[in-house]
Amino acid sequence: MAASLIKLFVTAALANAPVASGGVVTTTVDPDVTRYNAVLDAGMIGGTETTILAEDFLDDNGDPLLANELPALPTNGYINVYVNGVLQEAGLSTLTTASLVLDTILAVVGTPVVLEVADFSNTSSAITTPQTISAPAINVTT
């Protein structure tokens, strides 16, 4: 006698897709913005670049910086450099903790230079109210 195989046949169709609603994400931005200023002197001006050492800068309070006291270029931020009040192109300066180097500018003794450093490393986001997601409804037909 031959055995027969009986298979179950089932189809399923999505009756209602899941729905997400609500949810709140809170983002806190706490930038650290510092400014430094210097006045160019003859010793800073070279043939193809101008180098301002950290100790030639004053901070926002008018206090001189120490050697290597400039902030490092922030990973999550930017710098602005103003020469004689004019914002310079980003690629024309190099910042290290020891100095600010300005490429090929027409530097004149007595010209003011302002360095602005904006660091957004203290930015965070958190889900303060989770989303509500409904379960899908599935119709099964046999």
pLDDT at 1: 62
pLDDT at 117: 97
Contacts of residue 117, defined as CB under 8 A and 6 or more positions apart, other chains included, come to: 33, 34, 35, 36, 71, 74, 77, 79, 95
pLDDT at 48: 87
Whether the predicted model's global pTM rises above the 0.75 cut: no
In this prediction, residues 85-111 reach a mean pLDDT of 90
Rounded mean pLDDT of the chain? 89
For the stretch 14-26, pLDDT in tens is 778 888 888 888 9
pLDDT at 113: 96
For the stretch 41-61, pLDDT in tens is 999 998 889 999 999 999 999
Provide, rounded to the nearest whole percent, the portion of the chain with pLDDT above 70. Answer: 96
**Residues composing the chain:** 142
